[in-house]
């Protein structure tokens, strides 16, 4: 073999070695990328699992009949009343107890509760403000809904579908209060009215 053949042979060996090295780096890099993707997938799955655990709830109470109750001062007028819970479908007494003519619910376990209300209000008047709020131990804690009507209105009804979270130390009680500048009420049509309470587990 002449000198030119030797040079070509050496160039061929170098090219082959380079190809082998490139193939190894590309293959190793692909394994690293796959490994990184697997790690990222595991982290996303862990986050989803933690989120699911944080938002898991236990339904502890369901009522399908709601009405306005005027029995308890100062909530004893048609523009300032407590919501009365009737037609109880579920009542887990490990978590809640109902008293005060079905207007008061004591939250028996310490932790967070989700309160969801669906209720139809009737007798809505023009130029009025309507509030449905939750009281905790007799003090305003939060609002389910605030509704301000215009000078002219299209309907005498207002529908609320709202939830909120409330913390109990295991002895706190809640009541739901409707209050306005004008009289209003909860009609007896149970198709629109429902209350559900869930305990949030961690």
Domain that holds residue 26: 1-54
Q: Are residues 9 and 70 in the same domain?
A: no
CATH code of 81's domain: 2.60.120.40
Reported in sequence order, the residue ranges of the chain that DSSP labels E, i.e. its strands, are 57-69, 76-77, 80-91, 96-99, 104-107, 111-122, 129-136, 139-148, 157-168, 173-180, 194-200
Q: Are residues 77 and 18 in the same domain?
A: no
Q: Are residues 84 and 157 in the same domain?
A: yes
Whose tokens are 């079905």? That residue is 102
Structure tokens at 83: 């919501």
Q: Are residues 102 and 73 in the same domain?
A: yes
Residue-wise pLDDT for 77-136, tens only, equals 999 999 999 999 999 999 999 999 999 999 999 999 999 999 999 999 999 999 999 999
Residue-wise pLDDT for 41-70, tens only, equals 777 676 666 555 556 899 999 999 999 999
What is the number of domains present in the chain?
A: 2
Tell me what pLDDT residue 36 has: 64
Determine contact, residues 198/113, Cβ cutoff 8 Å.
yes
Determine contact, residues 82/72, Cβ cutoff 8 Å.
yes
Whose tokens are 């869930």? That residue is 198
**Does residue 202 carry a pLDDT above 70?**
yes
Q: What is the pTM of this model?
A: 0.73
Q: Are residues 37 and 90 in the same domain?
A: no
Q: Are residues 20 and 106 in the same domain?
A: no
């Amino acid at each position: 073999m002449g000198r030119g053949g030797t040079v070509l042979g050496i160039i061929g060996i170098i090219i082959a070695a380079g190809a082998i090295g490139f193939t190894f780096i590309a293959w190793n890099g692909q394994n690293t990328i796959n490994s990184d993707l697997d790690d990222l997938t595991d982290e996303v799955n862990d986050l989803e699992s933690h989120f699911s655990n944080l938002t898991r709830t236990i339904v502890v109470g369901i009522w399908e009949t709601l009405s306005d109750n005027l029995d308890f001062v100062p909530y004893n007028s048609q523009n300032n009343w407590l919501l009365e819970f009737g037609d109880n479908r579920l009542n887990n007494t490990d978590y809640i107890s109902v008293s005060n003519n079905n207007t008061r619910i004591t939250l028996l376990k310490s932790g967070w509760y989700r309160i969801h209300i669906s209720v139809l209000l009737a007798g809505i008047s023009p130029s009025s403000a309507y509030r449905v709020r939750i009281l905790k131990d007799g003090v305003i804690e939060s609002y389910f809904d605030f509704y301000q009507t215009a000078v002219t209105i299209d309907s005498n009804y207002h529908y609320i579908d709202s939830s909120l979270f409330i913390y109990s130390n295991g002895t706190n009680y809640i009541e739901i209060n409707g209050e306005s500048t004008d009289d209003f009420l909860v009609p007896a049509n149970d198709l629109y009215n429902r209350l559900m309470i869930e305990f949030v587990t961690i």
